Structure formats: C-alpha cells, structure tokens
Structure 1
Amino acid sequence: MNPTRRTVLIAAGAAALTPALPVLSAQAAPRAAAATPPYASYWYPDSLPAGSPGPGITWRSLKSWRAADDPDLAFNAASIPLAARFTPTPANTTARSGQARVQALVSFGPTSANPSQGSATADYYALTHWAYIDELVFWGGSAGEGLILAPNAPIVDAAHRHGVPVLGNVFLPPVAYGGQLQWTRDLVQKDATGHYPLAAQLVAVAAAYGFDGWFVNAETSGGNTALGTAMLGFLKELKSLAAAKGQRVTWYDAMTVNGTVSWQGALNSQNQAFFQSADDMFVDFRWSAATLAASGTQADGLGRSRYELWAGVDVESNGSGTSVNWDAIVPTGKPHVTSIGFYRPEWTRNHLPADQRAPEDFHAADDRFWTGRSLDPSRPDASDPWRAPAVSVADRSTVTSVPFASVFNTGHGLRWYEEGAVTSEAPWNHLGLQDRLPSRRWAVRTAGERPAVSFDFTDAWRGGSSVLVAGELDQPAVVDLYATRLPIGVNTVVELTFRGESGEVNVELAVATAEPSAPGATPPYTYLAVNSVNNGVRVRSVNGWQTVTVPLTGLAGTVRALGVRLTATEGPVRWRLGGLAVRDSVTAPAAPSGARVTAANGGDLRLAWTAAPGAVRHYTLHRLLPDGTRRFLGATGQLAYFVAGQRPEQGETAARFELRAVGELYNASAAVTVTHPW
C-alpha cells in the first residue's frame, strides 16, 4: 500500500485527535477502581517504543494481556452473536448471489481514546448498509499508539445483528510511518515448545471480546527469508487456533514469502503460501484487469474460491467519485472475477465539511455510495459511472424469527426519544443500539412520481430516527421495508407506528408470503388495511403517533417481505414511520440484577450489573430526580456503563439511577435502582 494512504495513521495525527488525559506509565497496572472512560483496546505485540507515550495514549503489550486483568473488558465485550443470513430474490436483474462479496476496511476513530460505548455527538460514521457487506475490518493502528486493534462493542453488535463478521486489525506499519522490524519479530516469536504465543493471544482476545478474527497486515520492510518463514508459521498457527474458535483470518498482500514487503496486486507465487494459510486475502490496489483475471484462475486451481480474494478499491479520497475499472472485478453480463475490498468507505462522512455533517447529510452520501445514483436498488441507473454494491451484489437479511421489531434506529441521533417524547436533548452515537435496518434503501414501487424516502432525525418514536416519506404521491406508492423469513402463526400480528405531518394518506400493510417471480420483480404483496378499525385492527395513539395492530388473518406460511402502500387523498404528503413489529404475543423481559457503582470520581461513575435472564435487546439507564423527572442517560448492550458529569440536583443527598432491560419488542422490565451518595 502506498504510504500516502496512511494519512490518518501517522502517530502525530492520531495523537492530535485525542483529548488531554492523564498519561499512564507503560508499566502501570490496570486501574480497576478508577472511574475513567473506557476506550477500545490496542496493543503492541510485545516490546514497547522507546520514550513515553503521548497525551491520552497507553502503551500495552499484547503478550502480557490477560482477560482477568482487563479493567475495560465488560465495556468492550460484544453482546450480540453473529446472526445467520439468507439471500432473498435480488432487487434488480444485475445483482448476484454467490459471486463477488464485499469487504470494508473502516477507521471509526483514532487508535487511542476511541470510546467503547459511543459518545455525545451525532457526527459519526454510522454504517447502515450491512446487507451488502461480508466482512468488516476495524482499521487503524499507529507506531506511536499501538499496532493491534480490537473493535469496540457497538460496532461488533451492529454488524452481528446484520450477519457481518468483524475482524480486529494487526498493522505492522511501513518504516516511513515509524514501523520497526522488531515488532514483526515480536509478533512471530516462538516459545520453548515451538508455538507462537502471540497467535494464541490474538485468538483469546477475539474470544473474550466477542469478535470474529483478525486482519493481518505486515508492511514493515527490511525482512529476510527467515522472517518470511516465521511469519508463515505464525499465520498457519493463528489460522488453526482461530478456526477452532470459529474465527477468521484475512491476509493483506504486502509481505512476500521471502520476508520483504512488495505489494503484488495479485495472487501469485510471492504470496500464495500466505493465502493458503488464511481464509481470504486483500489484493493490493496495484491490480490490473489481467492480474485479477490471473489471480482468479490461480485461486480456482488451488481449489479455493476466487471470491476469497478482495480486490482493493481505495475510496478514502474520492468515495463514490472514484474511478474504478469495475469490469475487471464485477463485469456486467459475465461471472464476477473476484470480490471487492473497499478501503476507507467512511469517506461518506469524512469528506463533508464540518458544518454539513448532520446525520441526514451523511446518510445521503452513504446511500449514494452503497445504492447508487438512483437511490433505489430496484431500479439502478445504468449510466452511473460509480457501480455501487447494490448494482452487483445481492442484499442479505437476518430477519428470520418472531418476535421481530425495529424503530429504524440508525445508531446515532440529535436527541433521544421514548414513545414519541424527547427524554434527552443531547446528541449521541452508539452503533450497538442500531436496529436491523431495511436492506433495500429505498425500493419504491409506483406508477407515478417517486416520493423521497430517507432516515430522518427531526422526530422519532424511539431512539433517534424514523423513516420519512415525502412527496406528491400522485399514484399509490409501495415502500419495501424488509425481506424476511418469519413464520405465521394463528396469533401473528404486525404493528405499525406512524404519524402524518402533512397531507392525507391511506396506509396499507404490504405482506408477501412468496418470493418475487424474478429478480427485480415486485414481491407478490397482499395489502391489509391499516386505517380501518374493522377486521381486528387495533389503534393506540400516544404523543401524536398511532400504533396500529394488524392481524395476519387469512395468511399462512412464511412472511417473505414487508412494506407499506401509501395512497394520498390530499397532498403533498409528509408521512413518518416510527416502528414496525411482528409478534405472536408480548412477554415482559426480566429485570437485571446486581446493579452497582463499581467506581466513582466525583460525578463520573462506572456501573455494572448481572445480565437479565432471557433475550435482551439492550439496557437503558435513567436518572430519577427528586421531582419525579426521569432523565435518559444512555443505553448499551453490555453489562457495564460509564456516565460522566453527574452532580447533585434539587437538594438530593444521593443520586438515584434506574436500570431496565429492554426486550425485542422494546418493552422494558421493571426498574432496578442504584443509589450513589454525594
């Protein structure tokens, strides 16, 4: 990889992004009792740099890591297992299943001081187009901070909900960016038994933190054949240990078998042994149509899938404006050649000016990147020079069991809503709270003018966002929401929560129990009245929102697609969808137990608790003030949470916190109370 692509990984640049925090000694023991903010973890393999770490940076050795000694493990361990996926009939005639896959190498934040559980800003790369992604790499690392990065829990939880494995990153930097060959030697060191202790440590970290394996990127030059041989032995042992734990290993095309760093841009004799010792390989950007074609042929000859090769596409600088020879990777009308490896698709956020990074600005750019210029995967724009993933790759879904619910929470917002009321005015991000989101954004079926459909952040039923449909609606319009595999029982109902802001619109629930007749065809929907109070439909109104419960009377088998049909009786229309649920019954979740303050420093507190039995979507934490006001403080899927800046209010002598478990249907358990004396 060219050094110019390392811009965000330069130690000085990363350090400039970190807040001023107390400097910890490189040899300092974990401070389990300190009420400090938890951050995503990062390490050197073994030896540490000379000198002292910069402000806010803690130097750690992976070799000495132990789960029992990790003070932030409870904040960083993912809570959602990797969901199984299925591939519905593609939304268009060009997207294919079983061929090219998509990998994304994403830097969500700096190496150091990257919050474990979100932060108080909506300006965040809230990735939502998981349906097209097959592997996410938590990209980062720098010579001045650390080289081995464990992804933080919110990202893993969001990815896992959508069936996407997440890999930590092992980055041995180019010498131009401070790389030291000793760190490579540290990584591949052997113990007295001939094993590679750092391979076992990497697998232990991934198991403890709940992510899915490692991306190994050795780019420090100066090695020799002995080092190349040692790296190959290390990689083989890492792959063996990882496979035993259900983890994956991806190799980056940089180091060759003779220990030198020479990016090939191909699968060839210089890196084949590494590819054969890993699950996948990222092919550096130097590829050409000829080298990719030869690489695919070589993978076939090895009995491997050519789609285990990710052809690198560098979008860090120009995003959806990047010029790419798409026919070399995903040709139209021919079998795909290899898979796609996007380097730094968070361009969709980073290229925006600081005063234009509102959530809607980011999602507009992100939809353009993943869906294409048409912003409708059911009708891609063939003249678009950017061949978005939705054009070539079939979307996937994990919506396979009842109950299922979504409030269309994207994982960030300008405020926090509960049942249509604002319970916190603070902007926020926490990807672990993201719902399973519609994969086809936005497929709209209409014979008239297409309305605009988007996530909107000015109002929500719960969380921070809702789906806004706006336009003339001169003809009925069907908005596809979810591809599903939901069994229909005798008591199965669908709940829709929505509100109209302008115009008059008739709402119908669209339910399909069979696949479309062909790729690109409309699902064979049955339309069920929502506005009617007949046929068992029940309506509840809260804070201007209506929740309508529609029984699936007369339908049997499996729900394979869900949507809404909107017919305007007076326009233009602004109509907002805040929630959707499919259920047979409602059972309240059990409450967590053992809630306690584990550390305090003034108004900065660490809290922990024991998991509630049964299925839990996440936990919410509120502060109960003496006048009875409940203030939302945050939510997380983990069993620990950090709150900052609390202070006595209304003459109280102790702060009172309420912790609740939230179930799949967004119904909450009884509150567990925690008090903290001032």
Structure 2
Amino acid sequence: MKWFWVGILCCFCTKAAAESLSFTLAQALDWSAQQASEQRHNRASTPLASRVLVSEAQLWPLQDPRIRVLVAPDGMDNLAFEQPQQRMNHYLFRHWSLIDVFNWFAGTADNTVNLPAASWVEVAHRNGVKVIGSVFFAPTAWGGHPERVAHALAQDDMGRFVLADQLIAMADYYGFDGWLINQETDLTALPEAEAQQLAKRMQQFMAYLMANRPEGMEIHWYDAMLTNGAVRWQNEYNDKLAEFIRPERQLLADGVFLNYFWRQGQPERSNQLATAQGIDPFLIFTGADVWPGRNDQPAFRNTEWLSALFAADSGQSWTSLALFGVNFSYRYDGDARQPAFHQFSQDPAEVQQFYQTEQRFFAGDDLKVTAKATSGSWPGLQRYIPAKTVVQQLPFMTNFNTGHGWHWFERGEKVRGSWHDIRQQDLLPSWQFAVLGHGEAAVSYDFEKGWRGGSALLVHADTSKGAVQLPLYLTDLTLQGSEQLSVIYQSTRSDADLQLCLWSAAEQQHCLPLTQHQQQPEVSWHTQHFALQALTNKRISRIELLIKQQAAATSVHLGQLAIE
C-alpha cells in the first residue's frame, strides 16, 4: 500500500478535522467499555438497514449482480467531523447505493487501531452499507517494528488473543461492523525462524478473530505479508497469498483486499484460483488506487483497468472491487498530468465542481449514468455496478438533503447560515444522475433552495425534442393500497407537464400528474398528495420524474418526496 502518498495527504490535513478515534496498541489493549463513557458521542445507534438488488429496474443490462464494492477514502481520520460544523465545505460521500463496505482507512506507526466516526456509521447504516475500522501495522520505513506486531499478537493464559477480543468488543460498543487488518510491517529483520513463527501467530490470530466474531461482523485482510514474514504485495489472489490467508483450506477473512500494482490478466487469474479452491471469487476485492496523481488506476486518465476487471461483452466482473482514494473528489491539488478539479476545501462557492467530480467518477464524463461512453472517455463505474436499495418498507421520505449547505431551510425558509453535518444526510437518489428520453436535462443539488435541510434537487430540462425521464429511486415496495404519495416542488412554468411515475413489474408505469395554479410558480413551494389505491398489491421497483415534451424549457425543484 502506498503510504508515501498517505503521508503527503496528511501534511495538509487540519488537526481540527480529526475527530474519529485512534488508539495506540497499548491504549487498545487497555480499553474497556466501562472506561469509554467519555467517548459516548462516538457510539452509533442506527442499525444496519437491509438492502436488496432489484434486477429488473436497473438501467444498464450488462451489470454483474455478484460484485461487492468496498470504498476506502485515503486518511479518513483527517477528513471527518463528529460534531456539526458551521462551515459547509467539508468532505462527504453521496453514492451509497453503489457500495457495500466503507473502510475507515486510517492509521500511523503509533495509531494502530482506528475506529470510524459515529456520524459516518449512522448515514452508512441508513443506506445499508457496512463500516469497518482499520488495524494498521506500518511499514518499517514509516516506523513499523516487528516488536509491535509481536505485542499485538500476545495471548493470555488461556490462549486467547487479547487484541482480537478487544477489536470485537470495540466494534460492538461503538456500533460498527468489523475490521480491515493491514499488516505491512516486514518481519524479516528478525531471525528467519522467529519471523516465520510470528507470521504463523498472525494466521492463528486471524483464525481466532474469525471464529469469535459475532454474526454479521466482517473481517478483511490486506494483501501484504507472506508466511515467511516478508511484506511482498501479490496484487492478485495467487498461491503465495493463498498459502497465508487459506491455510488448511480455511479462508481466514471475509474479504481479501488486493494491492494495486496489478495488470491485465491478474483479476482473471484471481478468479480462476479462488474458484478452483472452492472460494467465492467475490470475497476477493481487487484494489484500485484511483487517486488521479498516482500511476496504477487513476480516475479519468486510465480506463484499461476497467477492461481488465470487467468483461466488455458481458459486463461480468472477475472479482469484487476495493476503491482506494475516492476522496480525491474533495481535495486533489493537481499535477502536470491532471490539474485540480476545484478548490472547494478552501472556497465553498465551488460546491458544484466538488459534486460534479464525484458524479463524474460514478456516472461518466458526461455526468449522465445512462449515456453511452465514447472511445477514450471515462465511462463511469455505475456502468458496471448495479444500484441497491434500502427502500423496502414505509414510510419513505427524502428532502434531498446531502448533509451540508450554505443555509438551513425549514419549510422552504432560511433559518440559519452555513453548516455541515453528515448525520443529516437523507437517502439520496439511487442514480446520480440518469437522463432517459429524447429531451435534454441537467440535474444537480441546489444549495440556494430547499424545503428542509440544505438543498433541493434541481432539474433544468429542454424538452423541445422530446420528453425527459429522470429515474430517482430504486425501490422494492409492495403497496397495500392505503398509502399516500406526497411531493413538494417548484417549477418555473405553471403549464409544465410534470409527472411522478411509479414502475411496477413488467415495466408497467403509473404516472401522477403534478399541477399548479399560482401566477408565480417559482415563488412558492407546492404540495400535492396522491392516494395509491390503484396500486394495491403492486410491487414498485422504481420512482422517476417525467417531464413531457414542450417547446419551452423548464426548471423544476424537488424539495420533498414521501410515501407513507
């Protein structure tokens, strides 16, 4: 793992942002829930939401439903706030429907055990995404030492691994979902037999951790150390890596996070060996270091790695995917190969550039999930990764609030100024953003308007050449007939032909017309309610906005959408 770059990143991170918990090894071994009462604010209480993949409502036909996606921003302990802030321009993440695991990637030679901030666990859990902390043993060049590894692997008189029990207790107490064990300290400075024995104890530690973790807790291993104690990144699941992580035909982790120095053919070989050994190849996470200034899988500059991981003709993936450094969308200084995308971390006025950078990463260069990529362009990861949804039961409500804003709105009125609190983030659209039909549309979050929170969803549509369909939410809802859909919105045209459409099985569409009668439609928020008796016993798989063909352009703000 490229810890040189992590060191550079943290040079310009502010201490004020580091509000997640990091422990030295001694502190972690001494930790107890009874002594942690002063850290109660860092306990997450939101349970992990159930979520599903609804195949018939996906927008791309060639997507692999087996793939899992882990996201590991680079240096989360320097990016997260636990308490609300009065400045909006801090980091947040929005594409939860596309990922399965959020790894709180952090650590130094001294800070071995790194826990996620509760605010991030809360929003991830609402989206059905697991959050795992990091146990980091640093490379010797960065202060790592075999003695620290040996200390971490200490056993009590009954043979129990003390640190493993502590890790299980910490995850339970703080309300997150597991750990990445990232052992990058080379042990070969020790005598050969001693190094091999310490590596063997690490295998025993992993086996103990797996055997004693509660149901649902995930343990991941990073591709670094081998059975002789040497750190040699394999960059694929091969015999050497299997010798360490699968001794006696037992996989010692729920996921194996592969390093990034791989090339064409290696993901396929990982799949082949895992399959031959009876291992689900989607427990193998091929690593992609997408930081634009690096050389392996830089976002936007290199698309070859996508064709190595995903088959072009079928869209099938060889393994799961671990995305490292996705926070480049927030703070990337630029270089000769890729200029900086924006200066949002210094200037909140550049919020749209920040949003477009993450949107481009997932939706493609044209910022539209459903558009066909041209040769040489960045296609976006959502072309390959199907969306998943937690919207399986009611009530469902969103104010399209992303978790920060220039203002806080209540009932459409500004009540206070700039703020940032990711806990407040609503369930955001499953596709950000998809445009179907013959018309044209630009979709974004507007921070100058909102119903409740910091933003509204803004659609600028040109329907002179045809209608525009905007898929918003993937759902898996079976209606009883007593439900009511409500929407709060604004439109620049009182005669705009707007409809909210609910899709059921067999592509059946039930559309609800939005009508307004005010003389100045853009001044006021309008509320409409719709009874859903006609959809009794229908399974709803998608909610979308439809703007019918008209000569004049239309702008629409959605402030709230609810089904209760």
* Correspondence for 1:254 among 224, 234, 253: 224
* Correspondence for 2:261 among 255, 267, 286: 286
Separation in 1, partners of 2:405, 2:494:
26
Separation in 2, partners of 1:554, 1:41:
51
Q: Decide whether the 8 Å contact of 2:140 with 2:186 is kept in 1.
A: yes
- Select between 481-490 and 159-168 the one with higher mean Cα deviation: 481-490
* Correspondence for 1:528 among 509, 512, 515: 512
TM-score normalised per structure 2: 0.88
Post-superposition offset of 1:380:
3.5
Post-superposition offset of 1:4:
2.8
1:82 aligns with 2:79: no
Post-superposition offset of 1:282:
0.9
SS class of match (1:451): strand
Partner of 1:320: 299
Separation in 2, partners of 1:295, 1:476:
45
1:412 aligns with 2:387: no
Partner of 2:475: 484
Structure 1 residues 387 and 183: alpha-carbon distance in aligned structure 2, compared to 1, 3 A threshold: farther
Partner of 1:238: 209
Partner of 2:70: 103
The one-letter code matched in structure 1 to 2:534 is G
Separation in 2, partners of 1:372, 1:6:
26
* Correspondence for 2:91 among 110, 118, 125: 125
Partner of 1:576: 557
Separation in 1, partners of 2:258, 2:506:
36
Structure 1 residues 387 and 185: alpha-carbon distance in aligned structure 2, compared to 1, 3 A threshold: farther
The 5 A counterparts of 1:446-465 are 446-448=437-439, 450-465=440-455
Partner of 1:227: 198
Q: Decide whether the 8 Å contact of 2:387 with 2:474 is kept in 1.
A: no
Post-superposition offset of 1:38:
9.8
SS class of match (2:409): strand
Separation in 2, partners of 1:439, 1:128:
10
Post-superposition offset of 1:392:
0.9
Post-superposition offset of 1:102:
1.6
Q: Decide whether the 8 Å contact of 2:411 with 2:451 is kept in 1.
A: yes
Structure 2 unaligned blocks of 5 or more: 189-194, 333-341
The one-letter code matched in structure 2 to 1:40 is S
1:495 aligns with 2:486: yes
SS class of match (1:337): coil
Output one character per residue of 1:454-476: Cα deviation in whole Å (capped at 9) or x when no partner.
12211110111111011333233
Partner of 1:167: 132
Post-superposition offset of 1:115:
2.8
1:277 aligns with 2:252: yes
Post-superposition offset of 1:502:
5.9
Partner of 2:415: 423
Post-superposition offset of 1:7:
2.7
Output one character per residue of 1:275-294: Cα deviation in whole Å (capped at 9) or x when no partner.
51001111111222233322
Partner of 1:661: none
SS class of match (2:548): strand
Structure 1 residues 198 and 216: alpha-carbon distance in aligned structure 2, compared to 1, 3 A threshold: same
Structure 1 residues 372 and 503: alpha-carbon distance in aligned structure 2, compared to 1, 3 A threshold: farther
Post-superposition offset of 1:125:
2.5
SS class of match (1:125): coil
1:197 aligns with 2:197: no
- Select between 164-173 and 350-359 the one with higher mean Cα deviation: 350-359
* Correspondence for 1:349 among 330, 336, 357: 330
Q: Please identify which structure carries the higher helix content.
A: 2
Separation in 1, partners of 2:331, 2:506:
39
The one-letter code matched in structure 1 to 2:126 is R
* Correspondence for 1:386 among 372, 378, 387: 378
The one-letter code matched in structure 1 to 2:61 is T
Q: Decide whether the 8 Å contact of 2:80 with 2:91 is kept in 1.
A: no
SS class of match (2:265): helix
Separation in 1, partners of 2:376, 2:386:
18
The one-letter code matched in structure 1 to 2:384 is S
Structure 1 residues 515 and 422: alpha-carbon distance in aligned structure 2, compared to 1, 3 A threshold: farther
Partner of 1:303: 278
Structure 1 residues 391 and 569: alpha-carbon distance in aligned structure 2, compared to 1, 3 A threshold: closer
The one-letter code matched in structure 1 to 2:531 is P
Post-superposition offset of 1:387:
4.1
Partner of 1:115: 81
Q: Decide whether the 8 Å contact of 2:132 with 2:180 is kept in 1.
A: yes
Structure 1 unaligned blocks of 5 or more: 20-36, 47-60, 517-523, 534-540, 584-678
Partner of 1:18: 15
Output one character per residue of 1:163-201: Cα deviation in whole Å (capped at 9) or x when no partner.
111110111111222223222122211111111010010
The 5 A counterparts of 1:569-608 are 571-583=552-564
Output one character per residue of 1:576-595: Cα deviation in whole Å (capped at 9) or x when no partner.
00100001xxxxxxxxxxxx
Matched residues, number? 529
Separation in 2, partners of 1:104, 1:515:
34
Structure 1 residues 479 and 356: alpha-carbon distance in aligned structure 2, compared to 1, 3 A threshold: same
Output one character per residue of 1:531-581: Cα deviation in whole Å (capped at 9) or x when no partner.
179xxxxxxx99821111111242222222112222375733221001000
Q: Decide whether the 8 Å contact of 1:419 with 1:542 is kept in 2.
A: no
Structure 1 residues 502 and 383: alpha-carbon distance in aligned structure 2, compared to 1, 3 A threshold: farther
Separation in 2, partners of 1:282, 1:322:
23
Structure 1 residues 119 and 245: alpha-carbon distance in aligned structure 2, compared to 1, 3 A threshold: farther
The one-letter code matched in structure 2 to 1:437 is L
* Correspondence for 1:467 among 423, 437, 457: 457
Separation in 2, partners of 1:452, 1:92:
20
Output one character per residue of 1:32-72: Cα deviation in whole Å (capped at 9) or x when no partner.
xxxxx9932111222xxxxxxxxxxxxxx101111121144
1:183 aligns with 2:148: yes
Output one character per residue of 1:111-144: Cα deviation in whole Å (capped at 9) or x when no partner.
5x95323422222222111111121101111235
1:554 aligns with 2:529: no
Output one character per residue of 1:393-439: Cα deviation in whole Å (capped at 9) or x when no partner.
111111010111011111121221111111211x2222222111111
Separation in 1, partners of 2:223, 2:81:
30
Output one character per residue of 1:317-354: Cα deviation in whole Å (capped at 9) or x when no partner.
34522424222211211432112211111111112324
Partner of 1:211: 176
The one-letter code matched in structure 2 to 1:511 is L
Partner of 2:60: 92
* Correspondence for 1:139 among 90, 96, 105: 105
Q: Decide whether the 8 Å contact of 1:505 with 1:570 is kept in 2.
A: no
Indicate the percent of aligned positions where both proteins have the same amino acid.
Answer: 26
Separation in 2, partners of 1:532, 1:18:
50
Output one character per residue of 1:632-660: Cα deviation in whole Å (capped at 9) or x when no partner.
xxxxxxxxxxxxxxxxxxxxxxxxxxxxx
Q: Decide whether the 8 Å contact of 1:488 with 1:559 is kept in 2.
A: yes
Structure 1 residues 122 and 502: alpha-carbon distance in aligned structure 2, compared to 1, 3 A threshold: farther
* Correspondence for 1:65 among 14, 18, 31: 31
Structure 1 residues 543 and 156: alpha-carbon distance in aligned structure 2, compared to 1, 3 A threshold: farther
Q: Decide whether the 8 Å contact of 2:461 with 2:468 is kept in 1.
A: no
